[in-house]
Amino acid sequence: MNVGIIMGSDSDLSIMQAAADVLKEFGISYELTVVSAHRTPLRMVEYAQKAKDRGLKVIIAGAGGAAHLPGMVASITSLPVIGVPIKSSNSIDGWDSVLSILQMPNGIPVATVALNAAKNAGILAATILGAFDENLGNKVAAYKQNLEKEVLKKVDKLKEGGQPNSFDA
12 annotated as ligand-binding: yes
From residue 23, alpha-carbon distances to 55, 97, 129, 143, 159 in Å are 16, 24, 11, 12, 35
39 annotated as ligand-binding: yes
- Cβ–Cβ under 8 Å, residues 132 and 145: no
Strand 29-34 vs strand 81-86: parallel, antiparallel, or unpaired?
A: unpaired
Distance from the Cα of residue 10 to its chain's centroid: 16
Give dist(CA 65, CA 95) in Å, integer: 9
54 annotated as ligand-binding: no
- Cβ–Cβ under 8 Å, residues 89 and 123: no
- DSSP class of residue 105? P
Known binding residues for substrate: 9, 12, 39
